[in-house]
Amino acid sequence: FNGIDILINNASAIVLTDTANTDMKRYDLMHNINTRGTFLASKLCLPYLKASNHAHILNLSPPLNMNPYWFSVHVAYTMAKYGMSMCVLGMAEEFKQDNIAVNALWPKTAIATAAIEMLTGTSSTSRKVDIVSDAAYVILSKDPKTYTGNFAIDEDIVKSVGVKDLTPYACDPKNADNLLLDGFLDVPEALSQHQKTITSANRVRQYHTSAVNYKEKEGSSEGQIPTLFASISKVLSSDLVQKTQAVYQFNVKGKEEGVWHIDLKNGDGQCGQGEPKNPPDATLTMDGQHFAEMFAGTNIIECFL
């Protein structure tokens, strides 16, 4: 397109574990994707943004709330997300002379994503992604010279342009006034609701850790991977296909070397040995043991976060 006007740093990795239960691979993953990824993308886009007459960087990251609670429950994740927010704080001032706006956007409530469904088991107390996209549109339409360095909340943004009824944004209109608040907000309800979410996340983690240990001990005459794919095939559905919309190819190395695939883009989903019928959107190469650990428990949503 011969230019870049807008950069949105949205990619994020989330692991809600305390210090003792955060292994360094997951720590590095969160910091590489959240903080380093945001900094690197902003750095590489900078020359093109400088040449634009309407340049915006928008990070999907929380306000810098210094309440110790938000650090105590998942300090590694908080550091990684706050790294994105600190990019906003610093770059907004640094790029001001170049007329490049740098802002953060954060939802007031839970948004119906795969991560929320994994952590809470439902999207009925969440809002649709539409409220975030509408708020982003409003922010990105503003004059970059005058609107920069803000930590915006989606609900506040849409209300500022005249939206009075937020019910259509709710996944379940009956719960429009009883939604799950997002983390990092400076309101008492957010803390109490977040504690319940953390408890749920820990149960998920403990379950999958147990599943991995079980698979390691159990063994199988067929091998771990055929057994795992047999389990995965039982949970494929058109609903999961609609949510994922991607085809994956796995090049497995080690004792159980081979090629496997999961098609979560077509029909009711399909998985098995060999290359997929349709071109893969992503190809992952890994050791067979790591592959088995990733899929233990057959929670596909968690695997692809």
pLDDT at 171: 92
The reported pTM is: 0.71
Instruction: Map out the domains of the chain as residue ranges.
Output: 6-200, 224-296
> Does residue 77 have an active-site annotation?
yes
- Whether 54 and 144 have beta carbons less than 8 Å apart is answered as yes
pLDDT score of 155 more than 60 = yes
Least-confidence region, from 110-124, 198-212, 248-262: 198-212
DSSP state of 78: H
Q: Which two tokens stand for residue 20?
A: 């003792």
Q: Which two tokens stand for residue 210?
A: 């147990």
pLDDT score of 212 more than 50 = no
| The domain made up of 224-296 is a member of CATH 3.30.1050.10 | yes
Q: Do 6-200 and 224-296 agree at the fold level?
A: no
From 27, 77, 82, 248, active-site residue: 77
Mean pLDDT of 56-71: 95
Look at residues 179, 181, 194, 165 and name the one whose alpha carbon lies nearest to residue 124.
179
Question: What element of type H or E holds 112?
Answer: none
**Superfamily of 6-200 according to CATH:** NAD(P)-binding Rossmann-like Domain (3.40.50.720)
Output the 3-class SS for 159-218. Answer: HHCCCCCCHHHECCHHHCCCCCECCCCCCHHHHHHHHHHHHHHHHHHHHHHHHHHHHHHH
Look at residues 291, 251, 244, 302 and name the one whose alpha carbon lies nearest to residue 270.
244
Average pLDDT, the chain: 85
